[in-house]
Structure 1
Amino acid sequence: MSAEGSPSARQRALDHVAALASGPAIDPALRVSLNFHPDRMLRDKPILDVLADDGVYCSQFVTGTSNGGLTAFPGGDRWRWESRIFDRAYDEAPADERPVYGALNFRGKPVGAAPRFGSAHFRLTADTLARTTFCYPDSVFEPSDFGVADRMGLIAIALADRQDDLDDYVEAQVHGPVLLRSHVEALVLDPCYRGTEVEASATRLGCAVEWHSGFRLTVAELRRYPEYRGPQFVELGERIAIDGVLDPGIIGDAARSGRFDPQAVKRVWHYLARFGNRPNGA
């Protein structure tokens, strides 16, 4: 990473979004969370082992993986959205200089701000807020409302909106490196991973490990919502379930098995994320 190139591209992006932002300063107690699946593979290794070895959380432009769309390449949708939002600041930048994506946990969800992207999340430190930009809704919709730490009107917009639970988040783009030992308060995991290789790998990351209340969905409950993502994904969930239950570890095993379409498994995860957790009694 170049010593001069990164700050200039980053600062140009931050300045451009700040000029578009309005509203009061963010509550410094709020945190950005980076949701992801902790049991997936990256470069033929468990993702937490790769993160432990590298010590840094990288963007889709570096990893080539995502729990959303896979369009992070020159001319792809993610590249085009970033070019628009950041006024072309990163168009010629190396992949490792681009921002990483998360969400502002303004609702205080124990499972992270955007569980549609994974059962685990990194909770970032307060000092990363100063180099984070925000938009609402998700950048996939090419939004026109933006925020930065000292001009954050997006929370009021999001609170006034009515979205499905999985779409109820303010997207965050963290500019500059996210070092696990310096910029992460904790990795927060689903309790289904206690005593597993996921927990063992998590202890190598150099950050605290915490546990949320957990995702769990019975097949009987799953069958109540065929219209949510489609009856074919309810049927797939029934096939994946063990003893009539789905949890993140079971879905992770199915994803790694190679027996199922990854996009179809992702839809089953959406069912679990949407209906298998009731944070704050919702």
Structure 2
Amino acid sequence: MDFADVTSRRARAALRHVAGFSAGTAVDPRLRITLNFHPDRWAGGVSVLTALARDGAYHSQFVTGTSNGGLTARPGGDRWRWESRIFGGAYDDAAPHERPVYGALNFRRQVVGAAPRFGSAHFRLTAGALTRATFCYPDSAAEPADFGVAAGMSLIALAEADEQDPLNDYVEAHVHGGVDLSRDVEALVLDACYRGTPVEAAARSLPCPV
């Protein structure tokens, strides 16, 4: 599998590592990865949407220091340890901004995104993000044994055969090589409750369709 379009050496190493023990047929290219988040949260004295507009990019918790799950994104922490195992140590001494960002594969084509547990809004990524993503089932916090890449995706069948709480019914995705809002996002999808609110106004300042 060719990962030449991923410029980061570490990202290529991580993708090749996971591809080495992925199986199954190629993922349907019409499916999309979504990055669910809470659009009305604040961190570091600014709103999440303000920070996104300022940076023009979606960052991992290693950069932001925030999370909708556990705050273990530090050397030796659980998130660091899980990534070391999954990606074959490719990011063990990486700078925070080099690490992948987390989302989920929207194989059920839900209007709320693939993983609404992590927020009522989501970025819907372009088809190109599929080819530089790795996947696992279940969530990486469960230290899974099953992984996938776009060319070998057996995880959807596993998820469909499983019986999970609806909030845990997702195939986790790791997007390598960064997420630039103007390049990699098809749309930001907001819950209807934000219509006409300052959250919607802030969202429209982002360099992507809303």
TM-score tier after normalising by the smaller chain length: over 0.9
1:78-227 to 2 correspondence within 5 Å? 78-209=79-210
The secondary structure found in structure 2 opposite 1:201 is helix
Which TM-score applies when normalising by structure 2?
0.96
Gaps of 5+ in 1: 1-5, 210-282
- After superposition, what is the alpha-carbon deviation per residue over 1:50-72, rounded to whole angstroms, capped at 9, x for unaligned? 10010000000000000011100
Q: For residues 47 and 26 of structure 1, what CA distance do their matches in structure 2 show?
A: 31
Partner of 1:69: 70
Shift of 1:8: 1.0
Q: For residues 203 and 66 of structure 1, what CA distance do their matches in structure 2 show?
A: 23
- After superposition, what is the alpha-carbon deviation per residue over 1:163-203, rounded to whole angstroms, capped at 9, x for unaligned? 00001000000001100011000000011111111111111
Partner of 1:12: 13
Q: For residues 186 and 161 of structure 2, what CA distance do their matches in structure 1 show?
A: 30
Q: For residues 163 and 193 of structure 1, what CA distance do their matches in structure 2 show?
A: 29
Q: For residues 13 and 172 of structure 1, what CA distance do their matches in structure 2 show?
A: 13
Partner of 2:4: none
Partner of 1:39: 40
The secondary structure found in structure 1 opposite 2:83 is helix
Residue type matched to 2:149 in 1? V
Residue type matched to 2:151 in 1? D
Q: For residues 184 and 118 of structure 1, what CA distance do their matches in structure 2 show?
A: 17
More helix by share: 1
Q: For residues 189 and 178 of structure 2, what CA distance do their matches in structure 1 show?
A: 20
Residue type matched to 2:93 in 1? E
Residue type matched to 1:140 in 2? A
Residue type matched to 1:19 in 2? G
The secondary structure found in structure 2 opposite 1:68 is coil
Q: For residues 190 and 130 of structure 1, what CA distance do their matches in structure 2 show?
A: 28
Gaps of 5+ in 2: 1-6
Count residues with an aligned counterpart. 204
Q: For residues 47 and 60 of structure 2, what CA distance do their matches in structure 1 show?
A: 17
Q: For residues 97 and 71 of structure 1, what CA distance do their matches in structure 2 show?
A: 17
1:210-249 to 2 correspondence within 5 Å? none
Q: Which runs of 4+ in 1 moved over 6 A?
A: none
Which TM-score applies when normalising by structure 1?
0.72
Higher alpha-carbon Rg: 1
Shift of 1:42: 2.0
Q: Are 1:26 and 2:39 an aligned pair?
A: no
- After superposition, what is the alpha-carbon deviation per residue over 1:68-125, rounded to whole angstroms, capped at 9, x for unaligned? 1110000000000000000100000000000000000000110000000000000000
Q: For residues 21 and 156 of structure 1, what CA distance do their matches in structure 2 show?
A: 13
The root-mean-square deviation of aligned C-alpha atoms, in Å, is 0.7
Higher relative contact order (CA 8 A, sep 6+): 2
